[in-house]
A and B are shown apart, each in its own frame.
Chain A
Amino acid sequence: MSLKRELPTSTISGFALSGILVLTILNILLHNIPHPVTTAGDKLLKLNASEGVANAVTTVVVYFRGFDTLGEIAVLFIASLGIGLMLHSNTQCEIKTDSNFMLKTASKILFPIIILFGIYVMIYGHLSPGGGFQGGVIIASGVLLLLISDRSFEVPHAMIVALETFAGVSYVLIGLIGLLVLDKFLGNFLSPDISDMGLLFSGGIIPIIYIIVGIKVGSEMSLIVQNLIKRDENV
């Protein structure tokens, strides 16, 4: 039995590292608070007016970086595919206990409101903060509420497949139509009118693409959530 106690080196180094990190980030934060928008943001905001969409982030995500968004959706699809391959089961779900009656009653009231809010965020993505990704995940969280409250509930598989196929195909089709009409992929062929900025029907193809993204993200995330909750015990 040694008299020399070992120094807790990992704890000490953890404290030191987090202290350095805190000081660095505090320094960055305190130096950057009063400044207005940076120059790149100013340039993007000026370009944003050419498309007639009120929310500048939506223009960047769907129009200036539309091809990247297509790649992001492909990444999400591959993630959903992997989770489905690893966890999907045809056997009965493993949730044995019945859920709380408060949860059952509240989910019946809350589920339509959550779905409505998700669709609102999806459709108004070009006017207010939000958009396809956020709206889709909100809808998936509504499906999660149903899944944990009602153990016999299952996401209709055929409907999910139909929605996802429709969304993916129409995204690429809209891009190809832009390529045919305007000689660039995802060109805004519906000729946005800048005087319409702020209206629901404005921005040409940008709100259409964001709604498509929302449908695809919502169906994929619902499937992921279902596969995570109702998976085979023996996998």
Chain B
Amino acid sequence: MIGLIILVSFIGIVIIAFASIIQKKLADSIILFMGVGLGSVILFFVFKAPDVALTEAVIGAGISSLTFLMALKHLGVKG
């Protein structure tokens, strides 16, 4: 069961990461990058590192996406 969770979340991470680098819009890439963070939260939790999972959940979902979005807005890239 745990092996299944690990496999599904790992393959999900790879697929989402690939989808995020082939997006045309940079904003979509950032949103998908948050999905990569979600998958790694599951992986960290399954591998018995709940501290790292909590950090990744907060920083990957909140702070890093805010930084990327603000940088995108600051650069003025359209689309």
Contacts and interface: CB of A to CB of B under 8 A. Distances in A.
Interface of A: 18, 22, 25-26, 29-30, 33, 37, 55, 57, 121, 129-131, 133-134, 137-138, 140-141, 144, 221, 225, 228-229, 231
B63 A141 contact: yes
Contacts of B63: 137, 140-141, 144, 221, 225
A21 to B, nearest CB: 8
Interface of B: 2-3, 6-7, 10, 14, 18, 48-51, 53-55, 58-59, 62-63, 66-67, 70, 74
Contacts of B18: 18
13 contacts: A55-B51, A57-B49, A133-B55, A134-B54, A137-B55, A138-B58, A144-B62, A144-B63, A221-B63, A225-B66, A228-B66, A229-B70, A231-B74
Contacts of B48: 37
A130 B66 CA distance: 22
A87 to B, nearest CB: 9
A221 B14 CA distance: 30
Contact of A129 (B2, B51, B59): B51
B54 A29 contact: no
B3 A33 contact: yes
A133 B56 CA distance: 11
Contacts of A228: 66-67, 70
B14 A137 contact: no
Contacts of B55: 133-134, 137
A129 B49 CA distance: 9
A33 B48 CA distance: 12
B56 to A, nearest CB: 10
A97 to B, nearest CB: 13
A61 to B, nearest CB: 8
Contacts of A26: 10
Contacts of B7: 29
Given A29-B10, A129-B54, A137 B66 contact: no
A144 B51 contact: no
B62 A22 contact: no
A130 to B, nearest CB: 5
A134 B58 contact: yes
B10 A130 contact: no
Nearest to B53: A129
Contacts of B74: 231
A29 B58 contact: no
A134 B51 contact: yes
> 3 tightest A-B contacts by CB?
A129-B50, A141-B62, A228-B70
Contacts of B10: 25-26, 29
Given A133-B55, A228-B66, 15 more contacts: A22-B14, A26-B10, A129-B50, A129-B51, A129-B53, A129-B54, A130-B54, A131-B51, A134-B51, A134-B55, A137-B59, A138-B58, A144-B63, A221-B63, A225-B66
